[in-house]
Amino acid sequence: MDFALARRMMVDGQVLTRDVFDTDLLAAMLEVPRERFVPPDQAGLAYLDRNLPLTADGSRCLLQPMVLARLLQAADISATDHVFDVGCGTGYSSALLARLAGSVVALEEDKDLATFARRVLAELAPHVEVVQGPLKAGWPSAGPYDVIVLNGAAEVIPQPLFAQLKDGGRLVGIEGEAPATKARIYRLIRGDISGREITEAAAPLLPGFARPPAFVF
């Protein structure tokens, strides 16, 4: 399979057609070999226009290329930004972020996914710091962050993540209860958080990001 051609077709057919025009982001998506971030027997599926499962139960995935691109474009990442990639999976999003930002911390709580991410990022984006721990707690010791990226869905975004944003910082991810989920961006301005919708999107729920059960009398 010609993976360079597959990357070009992904960008031209899936990303550019959905109003993604950030030239640095498009260049990163053309450079980063998405097929390296899936098991070798799934490499031929890496450029499909859908979420790509990373675990046997489908609970974790590489986000659909168009959705990830819309999230990263909305985050408006600059070359000096300190970025936190939550639920990095095998590290594809982290490799893209490494080409856009000044520094990247990638958090994964699944041991096997974290091991995979460390191995491939050591070659393709060695400056990314991969750490392991509960996603909902974030990684405050390396914060605060200019941008936080959630690689999956959240019924509710844990407050500790907002607390790890700098003033003026942005958090992007997929929020809501299935099937009514949307990609959204939040900004922290002088202690106040405001958000807006980016596009319709769907992804598996990140561990620890479910809405707590309501008390029933």
Using one digit for the tens of pLDDT, what is the confidence trace for 9-25? 999 999 999 999 999 99
Domain ranges of the chain: 3-200
Using one digit for the tens of pLDDT, what is the confidence trace for 76-115? 999 999 999 999 999 999 999 999 999 999 999 999 999 9
- How many whole angstroms separate alpha carbon 216 and alpha carbon 63? 35
Q: DSSP letter for 205, please.
A: B
Question: Nearest-5° angle of CA 146, CA 149, CA 155?
Answer: 125
DSSP bridge pairs for 192: 189
Which helix or strand (DSSP H or E) is residue 27 part of? Answer: helix 23-31
pTM assigned to the model? 0.95
Q: Are 106 and 127 in contact (CB under 8 A)?
A: no
- What is the pLDDT at residue 212? 82
CATH of domain 3-200: 3.40.50.150
